[in-house]
Amino acid sequence: MTREELFKNILRKQSFLCVGLDTDIKKIPSMLCEHCSDEDAILSFNKTIIDATADYAVAFKPNLAFYEALGPKGLEVFERTIRYIQERYPDQFIIADAKRGDIGNTSKMYAKAFFEYYNIDAITVAPYMGEDSVKPFFGYPDKWVILLALTSNEGSEDFQLMENFDVERLYEVVLQTAQKWASIEELMFVIGATQASELTNIRKIVPNHFLLVPGVGAQGGSLEEVSKFGMNDQCGLLVNSSRQILYASRGEDFAEAARETAKQLQTRMEKQLFHKGLITYF
Amino acid sequence: MTREELFKNILRKQSFLCVGLDTDIKKIPSMLCEHCSDEDAILSFNKTIIDATADYAVAFKPNLAFYEALGPKGLEVFERTIRYIQERYPDQFIIADAKRGDIGNTSKMYAKAFFEYYNIDAITVAPYMGEDSVKPFFGYPDKWVILLALTSNEGSEDFQLMENFDVERLYEVVLQTAQKWASIEELMFVIGATQASELTNIRKIVPNHFLLVPGVGAQGGSLEEVSKFGMNDQCGLLVNSSRQILYASRGEDFAEAARETAKQLQTRMEKQLFHKGLITYF
């Protein structure tokens, strides 16, 4: 998906919501698919959540760890989830939250996995190994790298926010360096919602890039603050919510509860798009 | 596997060789398993390489990217490769070269995947997201985190070797910080063989940790230099070779060629162990 198509979807749906599919078998309603395997239960849950929230979201982000934990069969569930979205909701932007990154010939194989085999729109990549570990992901038309910059967790203080640089902090160097590697048409950054106070600074360094923002909801980030300091004139934000939507209810009404939560988030996003002047009514 | 067991295996085999299983379907001999699927060809190749080199190695390191590129079926090949080593060669240390690392609840699922589902000895982890992204991998008895510190690729200059710290470079901070997270019984570091000139400095910071050293062979690192500056009194080194062994020959003699290459590396390692006084004959 191109940047322009993504922006159009955001305007059309008045939403920049990304639904994270971090599906944990231990947390899904037990009445769902009682006599079937864990894998079938997860797939059934995913499909229900996707159907329930697709109206209010522009992106889905399955988290690889939750599928890998089940072995090769978990990867089949991942693939069937992807295929379901691709067939039913071809306008949804799909992000593989995989945090990959390795030496060149290995990153090339990861790119092949996610951009060729699964044909996913974007993959999250870790920057620690530098340019030649990230570059093999570029050059696929309409495919995206989403590079970790400033993440939502406490551990972001260990290295990303280290202050003993002469001039800047590590995540700022990552932003400055990585934007030279590819255009804004194929590179986004991960900025945690809990880091909203840094967004003014971040927007000085990368004014035009899209940012994938996890950490609203369970992790405590504020959608309104993220929007206030992070939105640009092409929106430039995909705000992710996983647990808040997936486990909105543990009961039989989990799909309606997920839909309602997604809808509430969409309404708050619509308001922010209106405030920014990107849509003319609210 | 405990540190003591690993050291005993090194002394018994007079080798600290790790064979990397970065198996690329495009590079394996075409006469191997001509009428079977790509997956079966890779599995057959892996088994043959494992049988051919196990005498000279103490560890195997499959690289996840090469299996993920084939989708869920590739992960089945990965699993069957692992099971083959576990059943036939239970004294081999198995490393999942996966470069994972994410927020706590996600890292926990990756730990579950590699330490519980696959029951592998060690996993490579990226440090960028800090302590709470690495900690969920600790606490599994006899299981190891191998944390990226100073990698073998050119991109290591982008961030790891950045010199605009007041006192030290990023990878040094990673070494200093991460050694507080766990004992030397469950934490190793990745140090690229191409970075041998840094090893004296590295051993000042982490004198006792095991180091996983890729980059000998195709990437140009020197086994002798790595040993000279990196070996400690419990060896403290696992030196990996992938392409040099796997593709020693593209002909029918690929297994003998792989075995011969592994044997030559083992002989050079034996010499280094002797120089260090860890074995008394050569």
What are the tens digits of pLDDT across the range A66-102? 999 999 999 999 999 999 999 999 999 999 999 999 9
Residues B270 and A140: their CA atoms lie apart, in Å, by 46
Burial class (CB in 10 A: 0-12, 13-18, 19+), B26: exposed
At A231, list the tokens: 């939105």
Residues A100 and A175: their CA atoms lie apart, in Å, by 17
CA count, 13 A, side-chain hemisphere, B239: 36
At B10, list the tokens: 């090194």
pLDDT for residue A241: 94
Residues A129 and B156: their CA atoms lie apart, in Å, by 5
Question: CA-CA distances (angstroms) from residue A95 to A111, A215, B200?
Answer: 13, 16, 42
Residue pair B266/B13 in contact (Cβ under 8 Å)? The answer is yes
Other CB atoms within a 10 A radius of the CB of residue B251 amount to: 11
Could you tell me which chain A residue has the CA closest to the CA of B167? A164
CA count, 13 A, side-chain hemisphere, B208: 9
Distance from CA of B230 to the nearest CA of A (A): 21
Backbone phi, then psi, for A176, in 5-degree steps? -65, -45
pLDDT for residue B164: 57
Residue pair A239/A194 in contact (Cβ under 8 Å)? The answer is no
Residues B255 and B268: their CA atoms lie apart, in Å, by 20
pLDDT for residue A50: 98
Distance between terminal CA atoms of chain A?
A: 27
Q: Do B72 and A65 touch (CB under 8 A)?
A: no
Enter the CATH code of domain A3-275: 3.20.20.70
Q: Do A110 and B68 touch (CB under 8 A)?
A: yes
Residues A225 and B234: their CA atoms lie apart, in Å, by 53
Secondary structure (3-state) at B276: coil
Could you tell me which chain A residue has the CA closest to the CA of B218? A105
Q: Do B100 and A101 touch (CB under 8 A)?
A: no
To the query of whether residue A108 is one of the catalytic residues in this protein, the response is: no
Residues A71 and B76: their CA atoms lie apart, in Å, by 8
pLDDT for residue B144: 94
Reported ipTM: 0.91
Residues B148 and B175: their CA atoms lie apart, in Å, by 9
pLDDT tops 60 at residue A166: no
Per residue of chain B (282 residues), give pLDDT as tens. Answer: 999 999 999 999 999 999 999 999 999 988 887 788 999 999 999 999 999 999 999 999 999 999 999 999 999 999 999 999 999 999 999 999 999 999 999 999 999 999 999 999 999 999 999 999 999 999 999 999 999 988 888 888 888 887 655 567 889 989 999 999 999 999 999 999 988 889 999 999 999 999 999 988 777 889 999 999 999 999 999 999 999 999 999 999 999 999 999 999 999 999 999 999 999 877
3-state secondary structure chain A: CCHHHHHHHHHHHCCCEEEEECCCHHHCCCCCCCCCCHHHHHHHHHHHHHHHHHHHCCEEEEEHHHHHCCCHHHHHHHHHHHHHHHHHCCCCEEEEEEEECCCHHHHHHHHHHHHHHCCCCEEEECCCCCHHHHHHHCCCCCCEEEEEEECCCHHHHCCCCCCCECCCCHHHHHHHHHCCCCCCCCEEEEECHHHHHHHHHHHHHCCCCCEEECCECCCCECHHHHHHHHCECCECEEEEECHHHHCCCCCCCHHHHHHHHHHHHHHHHHHHHHHCCCCCCC
Give the nearest partner residue to B113 out of A65, A76, A148, using CB atoms: A65
Contacting residues of A for B72, CB less than 8 Å apart:
72-73, 75-76, 78-79
Strands B122-125 and A237-241, by their bridges, are: unpaired
Q: Do B106 and A159 touch (CB under 8 A)?
A: no
Question: CA-CA distances (angstroms) from residue A36 to A39, A42, A181, B129?
Answer: 8, 10, 47, 37
Contacting residues of A for B240, CB less than 8 Å apart:
none
| Amino acid, res. A61 | K
Of A184, A133, A174, A134, nearest to A151 by C-alpha is A174
Of A190, A122, A178, nearest to A151 by C-alpha is A190
| Amino acid, res. A254 | F
Name the CA radius of gyration of chain A, rounded.
Answer: 18
Q: Over the range B111-132, which residues count as b (16 or more CB within 10 Å of their CB) and which as e?
A: bbbbbebbebbbbbbbbbbbbb
Name the CA radius of gyration of chain B, rounded.
Answer: 18
Distance from CA of A279 to the nearest CA of B (A): 34
Residues A193 and A215: their CA atoms lie apart, in Å, by 5
pLDDT for residue A165: 53
Distance from CA of A6 to the nearest CA of B (A): 26
Q: Where are the domains of chain A?
A: 3-275
Other CB atoms within a 10 A radius of the CB of residue B241 amount to: 28
Give the nearest partner residue to B128 out of A75, A112, A127, using CB atoms: A127
Task: Check A99, A263, A271, A276 and give the catalytic one.
Answer: A99
**A19: pLDDT confidence band, cut at 50, 70 and 90?**
very high
Question: CA-CA distances (angstroms) from residue A109 to A148, B67, B143?
Answer: 19, 9, 27
Residues B188 and B206: their CA atoms lie apart, in Å, by 10
Question: CA-CA distances (angstroms) from residue B155 to A115, A181, A209?
Answer: 22, 12, 22
| Amino acid, res. A214 | P
Of B181, B180, B220, B175, nearest to B199 by C-alpha is B175
Mean pLDDT confidence for A243-262: 95
Give the nearest partner residue to B157 out of A97, A130, A153, using CB atoms: A130
pLDDT for residue B82: 98
Distance from CA of A173 to the nearest CA of B (A): 8
Percent residues over pLDDT 70 in chain A: 98
pLDDT for residue B218: 75
Question: CA-CA distances (angstroms) from residue B143 to A21, B107, B131, B138, B233?
Answer: 28, 15, 18, 8, 22
